[in-house]
Structure 1
Amino acid sequence: MHIIITDARGARTRALHLSGARLGLLCLGLALGLLLASAALYHWVFQKGAREGWPGVGALVRLASRDELEQRDRFLRDNLDAMARRLGDLQARLLQIEALGERVSGLAGMDPAELRARPGQGGALVDGPPLSLEALQATLAALERNAGRDADLMAVAESRLFDQKMKSLMVPTRTPLDGGVPGSPFGWRIDPFTGRMALHTGVDFQAEPGTPILAAAGGVVVALGWHPEYGNRVEVDHGNGLVTRYAHALRLAVHLGDLVRRGQQLATVGSTGRSTGPHLHFELLVQGVPQDPQKFLEAGRTPPPAPLALAAQRSRGQR
């Protein structure tokens, strides 16, 4: 496209050559300029009309503002309803955790009423006014406080259960021989060497020579080696004044001061010391006084009560 520009007297002329691309850019620039000018004028007119109360303009502004506010309120209500449903799910899960915590607290020796501090809720559904943001925030804050308290109680229960588990592993309730045949029990008997009545301070287990002798519970080896009456023996301290003794062994498999775990091999069955044949002489001492080991071994063979039954029993006992 060629555009020729001349002055009034035709003394000077100027020719402009516009290609298709330049013409398109020029048209686009003009359109954008008009659009921005129109937007600025629209904004100025509506602002000035709203401030000065021009007839018709103020009504249009209020109508547009009301539509915008209604859309915003509808969006907030939809989101609040979704959050309320999520909050209900969280509350239901928290109730399940509380029920589990009540059973666990009974096993840990805690008062199950500590987890029932909040009263139960229920009833028929009657819809009320829409949930506000403040009410939702208050409910979430209460839920956070309750969850934190329950987490602390569960941590205490876990600690107590772990302590009970460790104590149970330190109590000699495991049979020291796998497959051993019980022999002489604890108590008074006729001594096989003297023929007179004598106190048998342990229980005997008949077994083939070389049969592994196992620790009845975890502990520390405090005595080891030869004894004139017990022969090769191992003594394990389990804490709280509990000591087990394994006598007449053929070979020893631990060293003095070793930390042994429940069921670990200590020695092998033999007939050393004051013995008439291969067997294990197993003793249990409390504060240095011999006790009947069979009572502890029977306690280890008795299955513990079911968690639900134990929790219910504790609950009944606290009423």
Structure 2
Amino acid sequence: MHIIITDGWLAKSQAMHLTGIRLVGLGVLASLLLMLTSVTAYHWVFLEGVRQGWPGFSSVARIVAPKRAETSALYMRENLDAMARKLGEMQARMMQIDSLGERVAGLAGLNPEEFKPAPAGAGGVLVGGRSLSMDALNSAMDDLSQLTGSRVDWLTVVESRLFDQQMQRNLVPTQEPVLGARVGSPFGFRIDPITGKSALHTGLDFPADTGTPIFAAAGGVVIVQDEHHAYGNMIEVDHGNNLITRYAHASRVFVKKGDIIKRGQKIAEVGSTGRSTGPHLHFEVWVAGVVQDPRRFLNAGENLAAAELRAPRKP
């Protein structure tokens, strides 16, 4: 194709030769410009006309808008249904938490009904289900949030009670200080093995080989670690509440004054130091400055362990 361009002022003419490729390129460019112009015109003229309320544009908008509104409503409906299903799952989980909390509260010696709000009565004939609205869904979510908060408070109380009980158990000397050892001399009056006269034996004797581990009967703080003329290598542990245990005649000691020890921790080894006729552990329990029979505490620990083994386990 030949195109001749004439300039009258310069009295010149110029010829242009366009091949097929150039024609196609010009056509594509022209199409793109036309599409861009159309889109710009739509956004500027049509949408502006709808916003400004120009005559004739409102009716056209009512024809175009329903399809878009229908699509948006369907999308919103699907999301609300998905959220409603998730809400149902959360409510089911909350029922499981309530069931578990009741069992744990029973272990803590608490009555769940004292902390749980009484459920409101609900029921009736099921006429037909319908999808939740946004307001109804928000209301259900608020109710679930309040219920969750109350359950958290309730379980916090249960946790606190269990923690207190565990601490009390750990601070009461109920564990055998020498595992598997039989009791030699019990608490009370006996014939003293050295003098041969009647005397009060203020603890329990656990005969064992030298070097046998001695374990703390409960957790506490070491307040005495010294060598006594009668008790030999001696340890005293303060468990709080005016409760003290004493371990005597040790061959080796592994703690010092001021140490914080745990229940069942190895603190010494059996020996025959001090006023002793052979290797053994002399174990005492003192409450408010008065010596007690350690057997009462050790028996309480054995009974508690046996009760826990016999207790039925709920699924």
CA distance in 2, matches of 1:265, 1:191: 29
The answer for the alignment partner of 2:289 in structure 1 is 288
For residues 28-58 of structure 1, give each alpha carbon's deviation from its aligned partner in whole angstroms, at most 9, with x where no partner exists: 232234335555666757986995765xx86
Shift of 1:114: 4.8
The one-letter code sitting in structure 2 at the alignment partner of 1:96 is: Q
Shift of 1:118: 5.0
The answer for the alignment partner of 1:150 in structure 2 is 151
The one-letter code sitting in structure 2 at the alignment partner of 1:76 is: M
Residue 194 of structure 2 is aligned to residue 190 of structure 1: no
Shift of 1:20: 4.1
- The alpha-carbon distance between structure 1 residues 120 and 203, as it changes in their structure 2 partners (threshold 3 A), is farther
For residues 185-223 of structure 1, give each alpha carbon's deviation from its aligned partner in whole angstroms, at most 9, with x where no partner exists: 222333334444432221111112222222111222222
CA distance in 1, matches of 2:5, 2:83: 70
- Figure out how many residues of one structure are paired with residues of the other and give that number: 307
Matches within 5 A, 1:65-84: 65-84=65-84
- The alpha-carbon distance between structure 1 residues 269 and 49, as it changes in their structure 2 partners (threshold 3 A), is closer
For structure 2, which runs of at least 5 residues remain unmatched after alignment?
none
The answer for the alignment partner of 2:132 in structure 1 is 131
- The alpha-carbon distance between structure 1 residues 17 and 223, as it changes in their structure 2 partners (threshold 3 A), is same
- The alpha-carbon distance between structure 1 residues 21 and 45, as it changes in their structure 2 partners (threshold 3 A), is same
CA distance in 2, matches of 1:47, 1:223: 91
The answer for the alignment partner of 2:32 in structure 1 is 32
Matches within 5 A, 1:1-319: 1-5=1-5, 13-38=13-38, 44=45, 61-117=61-117, 119=119, 125-302=126-303, 303=305, 304-305=307-308
Answer yes or no: is the 8 Å Cα contact 1:175–1:216 preserved in 2: yes
Shift of 1:25: 3.1
- The alpha-carbon distance between structure 1 residues 91 and 252, as it changes in their structure 2 partners (threshold 3 A), is same
CA distance in 1, matches of 2:263, 2:207: 21
CA distance in 1, matches of 2:167, 2:21: 86
CA distance in 1, matches of 2:59, 2:310: 71
Answer yes or no: is the 8 Å Cα contact 1:98–1:115 preserved in 2: no
RMSD (CA atoms): 3.3
The one-letter code sitting in structure 2 at the alignment partner of 1:30 is: A
- The alpha-carbon distance between structure 1 residues 205 and 52, as it changes in their structure 2 partners (threshold 3 A), is closer
Q: Which moved more, 1:127-136 or 1:238-247?
A: 127-136
Identity of aligned residues (%): 50
Shift of 1:176: 0.7
Answer yes or no: is the 8 Å Cα contact 1:172–1:216 preserved in 2: yes
Task: Name the SS for the 1:221 alignment partner.
Answer: strand
Task: State the TM-score, normalizing by the size of structure 1.
Answer: 0.81
Answer yes or no: is the 8 Å Cα contact 2:245–2:283 preserved in 1: yes
- The alpha-carbon distance between structure 1 residues 195 and 125, as it changes in their structure 2 partners (threshold 3 A), is farther
CA distance in 1, matches of 2:36, 2:266: 91
The one-letter code sitting in structure 2 at the alignment partner of 1:184 is: S
CA distance in 1, matches of 2:19, 2:118: 82
Q: Which moved more, 1:247-256 or 1:32-41?
A: 32-41
Q: Which moved more, 1:27-36 or 1:139-148?
A: 27-36
- The alpha-carbon distance between structure 1 residues 49 and 226, as it changes in their structure 2 partners (threshold 3 A), is closer
For residues 48-78 of structure 1, give each alpha carbon's deviation from its aligned partner in whole angstroms, at most 9, with x where no partner exists: 6995765xx8665424322322222222111
Task: Name the SS for the 1:104 alignment partner.
Answer: helix
Task: Name the SS for the 1:182 alignment partner.
Answer: coil
Task: Name the SS for the 2:274 alignment partner.
Answer: coil
The one-letter code sitting in structure 1 at the alignment partner of 2:284 is: E
Task: Name the SS for the 1:80 alignment partner.
Answer: helix
Answer yes or no: is the 8 Å Cα contact 1:103–1:308 preserved in 2: no
The one-letter code sitting in structure 2 at the alignment partner of 1:17 is: H
Shift of 1:99: 1.8
Task: State the TM-score, normalizing by the size of structure 2.
Answer: 0.82
Shift of 1:17: 2.8
CA distance in 2, matches of 1:180, 1:128: 70
CA distance in 1, matches of 2:132, 2:2: 70
